[in-house]
Amino acid sequence: MPALPPAPSSFKKRLRPQRRDAIVSAVIMRTCWQSSLYLLGWLAAVSAASASDVSIRREADAHHVIAARYEAIIADDGCLTNLLIGGLEFFKADVGSSRGSYFHQGEPLKLTKIEQPAENVLVARNDRATIRYEFAAESMVWSVENNTSEPMKFFIVFNPEVSADKGEVRGTVLAQEGPKSIWFRDKTRLEIDGGTRFWGPWRGCMMWDAALSPREKRQITFKIGTASETEAIKMGLASPAVEEVEQDLTLLSPKNFQVFQRQSRFRGRIIVSGRVKPECDTVEVRLSGKSLEGKWLPDRWQPVPMEKQTRSFYLEMPVPAGGWYDLQVRVLKENQPVAKGGVDKVGVGEVFVGAGQSNVTNSGEERTVQTSGMVASFSGRLWQLADDPQPGVHDKTQRGSFWPTFGDAMYARFRVPIGVAVTGHGGTSVFAWKPGGELHNWMMTRILQLGPNGFRALLWHQGEADVGGKPEDYAQNLTDVIHASTDAAGWQFPWFVAHVSYLSPERPFSETTRSAQKKLWDRGIALQGPDTDTLTSNYRDTGGRGIHLNLKGTVAHGKMWAEKVGDYLYKVLAQEIK
């Protein structure tokens, strides 16, 4: 038998499973005549490389697993309570008896004897059950064991934002029998093999279970991937592509209803950019309307610099604060028009980014609308009047929000157009917003699109999902999020952090969560937002029993934010005048 060649240097680095599979296939094809021991040597090397893609560390009262495609938390009771893929939480703990994933035999079982026999393995057990977690870069294998002479269930409770494929509707319940199931959150795909069925909703969540016979051992596999284009369209995660038709004049900026952040009380700028299809020698722009100071704009044509070869144009145009303004662009060749375009509503005013969990998104009981006609929302692609539902939220919720009321109140006080860009996602802990995760990247995309000094402040409304946690952990995690956001943006913009901890009439506030949020104000890391825990049952949905806001609540919420942010802005503008 020929000598085993040295392992490729890539094995010494982080090895993605796709790369790993390609290497294994190549070895099999080239050495099919060699013995099984030869192949097993290669597979062992591959398995070791896969394990190196995983780290497990002890943090506070849990084990924290970090793999190439996901992160997981195993609590001290042996339950895997959190599974974050791309920063998105797939499991739901602490709903009823739920521990995210857990054994149940008359009650949720606590497996407090935990050991780590290998770099990528944790084992949790008690006298009734055992689970062995084995972690790889893009997959997991859980070996579950019922050590008793009675039947036992092993449950997974999914986050309400997670959808199951191929379920059968039975009355008001979605259910499917069989070992395999596929789950989606946005375009992330989680395939599970080894179950008995899934069903729901139960308390708003989907349930997965494995029914274990007495003394049964079972293996459950998890594979993480990305939804195919067909799956994404089927699950409503994407729309079929629409071919863009090139026009004679494509105006990239401004968009209709776009709000540019003013740079001083009365001054700002508008970016005019685009491209021209026909041959031309001149691009001109004209802006008309009445400014905040009450003055009419010159309403005359002025040239826009154009790159002759690509026929693209760009101009940073000084503009007084105010709006809506009418902006028109014309393209000339030998003083004759060959193309024209424009927008009739563009403004220079105040822009705000929103982030956090459900009460910053479209989770209110009823939709609201702005009434001033001077409030616009940015989806990341287009601007539009800020009527609910707000575009651009990560969780794709479609109900009501506080943003229209907030915008109207800000316009009434400052008399300039108001823009908002909302990026939140319901049910998320502060941990889900950590730098590098999908939610942080989603938020940063909007921040970078608006650009340096492109908005006034970020409004953070989140905390319900972290009730019960340690104050210093929350404060440190959010501090990391804030610092990472300003570092990545390249400029220091203020964050407002609200008091948020209301769960129900029985649990109207959490002192630990409130103290964590206060730490950020006291340390000068964030500005103080409104105390939304004062919005108790009279302001909540489902007849006062819910965590989300009814119509009265969203209106009150918007006014509370406008008061806090408005007072801050008033001081900033007053200092500017001095």
Residue 231 exposure: Cα atoms within 13 Å on the Cβ side: 18
How confident is the model at residue 41, as a pLDDT?
Answer: 45
Q: Fold match between 249-346 and 349-577?
A: no
pLDDT > 90: percent of the chain: 73
How confident is the model at residue 247, as a pLDDT?
Answer: 79
pLDDT digits (tens, 9 = 90+) for 434-474: 998 999 999 999 999 999 999 999 999 999 999 988 999 99
The CATH code of the domain at 57-234 is: 2.70.98.10
pTM, to two decimals: 0.63
Pair of tokens at residue 539: 């302001």
H/E stretch holding 353:
strand 336-356
Q: Which of 21, 26, 216, 227 is nearest to 136 (CA)?
A: 21
CA dihedral 89, 91, 93, 96 (to 10 degrees): 130
The CA–CA distances, whole Å, from 189 to 92, 113, 237 equal: 17, 32, 11
> What is the average pLDDT across 165-189?
73
Residue 22 has pLDDT above 60, yes or no: no
Residue 130 has pLDDT above 60, yes or no: yes
- The three-state secondary structure class of 238 is coil
| Top CATH class, 349-577 | alpha beta
> What is the average pLDDT across 95-104?
91
552 vs 576: which has the higher pLDDT: 552
Alpha helices in 254-402 (DSSP H): none
How confident is the model at residue 365, as a pLDDT?
Answer: 93
Q: Which amino acid is at 96?
A: G
Residues 495 and 393: beta-carbon distance below 8 Å:
no
Average pLDDT over the chain reads 87
How confident is the model at residue 53, as a pLDDT?
Answer: 80
DSSP lists the bridge partners of residue 303 as: 284
Domain range annotation of the chain: 9-51, 57-234, 249-346, 349-577
Residue 20 has pLDDT above 60, yes or no: no
Q: What is the DSSP string of 286-300?
A: EEESBBTTSPBP---
Residues 251 and 274: beta-carbon distance below 8 Å:
yes
Residue 563 has pLDDT above 80, yes or no: yes
- The three-state secondary structure class of 524 is coil
pLDDT digits (tens, 9 = 90+) for 231-269: 776 666 555 544 444 579 999 999 999 999 999 999 999
Residue 49 has pLDDT above 60, yes or no: no
pLDDT digits (tens, 9 = 90+) for 470-528: 999 999 999 999 999 999 999 999 999 999 999 999 999 999 999 999 999 999 999 99
> What is the average pLDDT across 113-137?
96
pLDDT digits (tens, 9 = 90+) for 384-423: 999 999 999 998 899 999 999 999 999 999 999 999 999 9
Residues 258 and 323: beta-carbon distance below 8 Å:
no
How confident is the model at residue 80, as a pLDDT?
Answer: 97
Residue 11 has pLDDT above 50, yes or no: no
- The three-state secondary structure class of 474 is helix
> What is the average pLDDT across 369-380?
96
pLDDT > 70: percent of the chain: 86
13 vs 147: which has the higher pLDDT: 147
With bands split at pLDDT 50, 70 and 90, how would you rate the model's confidence at 35? very low
With bands split at pLDDT 50, 70 and 90, how would you rate the model's confidence at 161? confident
How confident is the model at residue 167, as a pLDDT?
Answer: 55
> What is the average pLDDT across 425-436?
92
Residue 59 has pLDDT above 50, yes or no: yes
With bands split at pLDDT 50, 70 and 90, how would you rate the model's confidence at 166? low
How confident is the model at residue 305, as a pLDDT?
Answer: 94
How confident is the model at residue 203, as a pLDDT?
Answer: 73
E strand residue ranges, 227-279: 249-253, 258-261, 267-276
Q: Which of 325, 324, 321 is nearest to 266 (CA)?
A: 321
How confident is the model at residue 155, as a pLDDT?
Answer: 95
| Top CATH class, 249-346 | mainly beta
How confident is the model at residue 523, as a pLDDT?
Answer: 96
How confident is the model at residue 177, as a pLDDT?
Answer: 85
Q: d(Cα 324, Cα 218) in Å, to the nearest integer?
A: 65
